[in-house]
Amino acid sequence: MGDSESDISVGDLDILKDAGADMNAWIGNLRTVMKFKSHQDVTVEKLSKPGISKDTLAKILFEGYQMVYSHRNTCESSRVGVEKLKSELIAAQRSVVKLQQQLLASQEKLLENQTAQLEEMSTVVDTAVDKGMRSYSQVLSRTIKDSVPVLSEKTLKKVVQEAVTDEDRSKNLVVFGLTEEKSEDLDSKISSLFDDIEEKPSFEALRIGEQSEETNRPVKIRLRNSDNVHRILQKAKNLRKTSKHRTVYIQPDRSPEERAKHRELVKEMRRRASEDPDSYFFIFSGEVCHRDKA
């Protein structure tokens, strides 16, 4: 609204607040003098009752007049400002309606263009079929022949399988260092592990790898979604502060290629740590990072 005279300023709002306080003070004084307990007690009959002097009533009336007179200009200015605000609001609403109409017109035009393109594509395909290309696969292969290399069925299956596997893996965790017994309640162990980092997700857990008396097999944990995985991985470092699970590690479920890359990163991190013992090295976002030791 800029700096127009009819705008309600912060000062106007403060004066309105003061006016309200003055009105409440005057009403309170009237009720005290007249010994009224509530607003419902204020009536013409009770104001006219014997025992209240005309001087007292005149004084109260005069105080009310002075209060109204002192705030009349502010009230009028505020009224004008509110009227202007209403006018500007109506104008803004009209602008919004106009913009919505323009957007709908643009969407209709876009839809018309898309429909025309689809009809043109349909005509091209129909023409190709009329010339003897009787199947969709023939049309597709001829269309992309000069620009895209042909993928074998085996290659396509591999790509799809890897995509599905990556999606499934994003919901998994792998736990290392969790003690293993011949007869164990694995779900209870995992629940206890999650309790230490204040998480209670729904999960499925199983040991992976060949059983051995010398080592504890890792545990693969399946969660409902990747958000739970991300949140638990962020808290996993807190296990080092616990007494029961300080030697337990939680890691993402990596693919063979990711595991190989991670091993190389670990080797690089250890090498750099041995060369620079005054810095703390760690792996973040696929890179070896460092900071000064606190």
* pTM exceeds cut of 0.75: no
Separation of CA 6 from chain center: 39
pLDDT digit of tens for each residue in the chain (294 aa)? 444 444 556 666 777 787 788 888 888 888 887 778 888 878 877 777 767 777 887 888 888 888 888 777 777 777 777 888 888 889 899 989 989 999 998 888 888 888 888 887 777 656 655 554 444 455 445 554 544 455 566 655 555 555 445 557 889 999 999 999 888 999 999 999 999 999 999 999 999 988 888 889 999 999 999 999 999 999 999 999 999 999 999 999 887 787 788 888 889 888 988 888 888 887 777 788 888 876
Instruction: Give the residue from 54, 57, 52, 63 showing the smallest Cα distance to 25.
Output: 63
Q: Give the other-Cβ count within 10 Å of 239's Cβ.
A: 19
With vertex at residue 46, the alpha carbon angle to CA 44 and CA 51, rounded to the nearest 5 degrees, is 125
The H or E element that residue 212 is part of is none
Question: 3-class DSSP state for residue 150?
Answer: coil
Helices (H), the chain: 10-34, 44-47, 54-130, 136-143, 153-169, 186-195, 226-235, 256-275
Instruction: Give the residue from 219, 217, 187, 180 showing the smallest Cα distance to 202.
Output: 187
Residue pair 232/196 in contact (Cβ under 8 Å)? The answer is: no
89 CB-near residues (< 8 Å, 6+ apart)? none
Helices (H), 170-215: 186-195
Query: Exposed, middle or buried: residue 221 (CB in 10 Å: 0-12, 13-18, 19+)?
Result: buried
279 CB-near residues (< 8 Å, 6+ apart)? 272, 273, 290, 291, 292, 293
Compute CA distances 148 → 38, 122, 134, 141, 195, whole Å: 88, 22, 22, 9, 52
